[in-house]
Structures are given as structure tokens and as C-alpha cells.
């Protein structure tokens, strides 16, 4: 009788005792985890700082160089047609490398350290990890790029305020161009995360990133003129530059078309990363 009483009492106590809370893997929690991991790395702060520095400093240097060369016979014709917007965003070509490289590190860095095993064990479905990394870092790169573009323009437009390149923030197309530059840099960051997840190698991801945005446009310039006109505008870097260009001609895309083409490249990179993540091992 006493044994039965003790067993019943123990069962009752176990039922009444509060159990451990059941944690579910949700999109919000995966986003929060990726946000925390991003800001826990020292490289995040350093690389974002470099990207912002490149964007502002090179833009201001370009504006001062333009202002100092006015009337000089050594001034290049293309450079002479620059505007305050194009001069201020001169550093976007350098900032894209810093932000793209950090995007590669966000994903490929976990493979190099082996931390990816813990991440995938916590999120067995895998794809939410990729979407969260791309969304979190893409948003951060977007903010950094947009802030840097506006700061560079506010300084650069003052430098060339008394020249033919002068523009104000209220000039048609300027605000659109500045936000377009920020969006472009944000999408470059997303492409970087996709390349890191696709190649699972920091060196490989950075190499492909540099080749895509720096080497391929140079090689395309060696093609026959008719090929350049047909292929050149649809290259990732050229389509991205069309997003923040103040004007365009027959050899370049309109801002809206450039955005659609660059979004296509971004989706293609993410699709490749998602396929590799679902089909491959950790």
C-alpha cells in the first residue's frame, strides 16, 4: 500500500512540476540569431567602416580633383562631363568590394570555422539560415551604403558648387540616384552572402566577387563594339551603375531596367546557394 502511494505521489509531483519550455525554430528567432552573430565579429565593424570610408573619402577626393582641374587641358573629356552626383559616388566601386567581401565572410566564414554544423543542427531546414543571413546583412549594407552616399554628396556638392557640375539635393534624379546607390551596395552584400554559401570558401567567394565586378567589365571592353553594346549593359556592375546614374544613353540601361537586371543576378546567386545548401552536405 505504501509503495503504491509513493508511486502515485511521485507521478503526481512529476505531472505538476513545470517542464522545460519547448522552443520552436521560427523565422524571427533565426533572424535574431544571425543578427547577433553578425555584430559579434570584429571584422563586421572594421569592414563596414572601410566601406563607409571608401564611399565618402573617394567621393570627396573626386570632387576636389574636378574642382582643381577646371580649365586644364589635361582634363579628360568624360571627367569634364561629370556631375556632383557622379563625382560623389565615385567611391561606390571601392565600397562594393568591402561590403561584398564581408557578405562572403558572413556565410563562408562559418564553413571555415566549422560553426556551420551547429547552425544547421539548430535549424535543420537549412534554407531559413540562408534567407536570414542575406536579409540581415543586406539590410545592414543598404543602410551603410545609403548613409555614405548622402554624406559623400552633401560634402562633394559643396566642393563643386561653383562649377558646371553643381547639383543640389533637390535636383531631379539626385535623391533617386543616392537611394539607388545604397540599394545597389545592399544587393552587392546579398550577392556576397550567396557566393559564400555557394562556394563555401572565403578565398573562392572573394575571387568570384572580384572577378564579377572588376575583371569581367574590363574583359568585356576588349570585345567588338557590337558585342559590347549587346552584352555590356547587362553585366552586373554595369546594370548596378545604371541604378544610380543621373542620365543614360543608348549604351546603358535606364535606372528601372538596371534594377531589374541586377535583381535578376541577385536572385540567380541566391538560387544557386539554396540549391547547394539543400542538395549538399554541411
Q: Counting every residue, how long is the chain?
A: 282
103 and 199 in contact (C-beta within 8 Å)?
no
The domains of the chain are located at 26-279
Can you give the pLDDT of all 282 residues of the chain as single tens digits? 444 344 444 444 444 445 444 557 777 888 888 899 999 888 899 999 999 999 999 999 999 999 888 877 777 877 778 899 999 999 999 999 999 999 999 999 888 888 888 888 888 788 989 999 999 999 999 999 999 999 999 999 999 998 888 999 999 999 999 999 999 999 999 999 999 999 999 999 999 999 999 998 888 888 887 778 788 889 999 999 999 998 888 778 999 999 999 999 999 999 999 999 888 666
Q: How far apart are CA 259 and CA 241, in angstroms?
A: 9
Q: How far apart are CA 226 and CA 6, in angstroms?
A: 91
Residue 105 phi, psi dihedral angles, 5° rounding? -65, -30
180 and 248 in contact (C-beta within 8 Å)?
no
DSSP label at residue 234: G
DSSP label at residue 133: H
pLDDT digits (tens, 9 = 90+) for 26-81: 778 888 888 999 998 888 999 999 999 999 999 999 999 998 888 777 778 777 78
Q: How far apart are CA 126 and CA 159, in angstroms?
A: 50
Q: How far apart are CA 272 and CA 226, in angstroms?
A: 31
Amino acid at each position: 500500500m505504501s509503495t503504491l502511494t509513493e508511486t502515485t505521489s511521485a507521478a503526481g509531483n512529476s505531472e505538476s512540476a513545470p517542464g522545460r519550455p519547448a522552443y520552436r525554430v521560427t523565422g524571427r528567432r533565426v533572424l535574431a540569431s544571425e543578427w547577433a552573430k553578425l555584430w559579434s565579429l570584429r571584422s563586421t565593424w572594421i569592414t563596414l567602416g572601410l566601406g563607409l570610408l571608401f564611399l565618402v573619402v573617394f567621393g570627396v577626393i573626386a570632387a576636389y580633383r574636378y574642382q582643381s582641374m577646371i580649365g586644364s587641358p589635361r582634363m579628360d573629356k568624360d571627367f569634364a562631363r561629370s556631375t556632383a552626383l557622379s563625382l560623389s559616388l565615385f567611391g561606390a566601386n571601392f565600397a562594393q568590394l568591402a561590403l561584398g567581401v564581408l557578405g562572403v565572410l558572413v556565410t563562408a566564414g562559418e564553413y571555415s570555422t566549422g560553426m556551420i554544423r551547429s547552425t544547421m543542427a539548430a535549424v535543420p531546414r537549412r534554407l531559413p539560415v540562408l534567407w536570414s543571413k542575406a536579409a540581415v546583412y543586406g539590410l545592414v549594407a543598404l543602410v551603410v551604403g545609403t548613409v555614405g552616399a548622402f554624406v559623400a554628396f552633401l560634402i562633394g556638392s559643396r566642393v563643386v558648387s561653383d562649377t558646371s557640375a553643381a547639383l543640389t539635393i533637390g535636383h531631379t534624379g539626385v535623391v533617386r540616384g543616392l537611394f539607388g546607390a545604397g540599394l545597389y551596395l545592399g544587393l552587392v552584400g546579398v550577392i556576397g552572402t550567396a557566393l559564400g554559401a555557394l562556394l563555401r570558401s572565403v578565398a573562392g567567394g572573394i575571387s568570384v566577387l572580384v572577378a564579377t565586378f572588376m575583371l569581367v567589365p574590363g574583359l568585356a571592353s576588349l570585345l567588338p563594339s557590337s558585342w559590347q553594346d549587346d552584352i555590356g549593359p547587362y553585366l552586373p556592375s554595369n546594370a548596378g551603375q545604371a541604378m544610380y546614374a543621373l542620365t543614360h544613353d543608348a549604351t546603358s540601361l535606364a535606372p528601372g531596367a538596371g534594377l531589374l537586371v541586377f535583381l535578376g543576378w541577385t536572385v540567380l546567386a541566391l538560387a544557386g546557394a539554396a540549391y547547394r545548401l539543400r542538395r549538399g552536405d554541411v
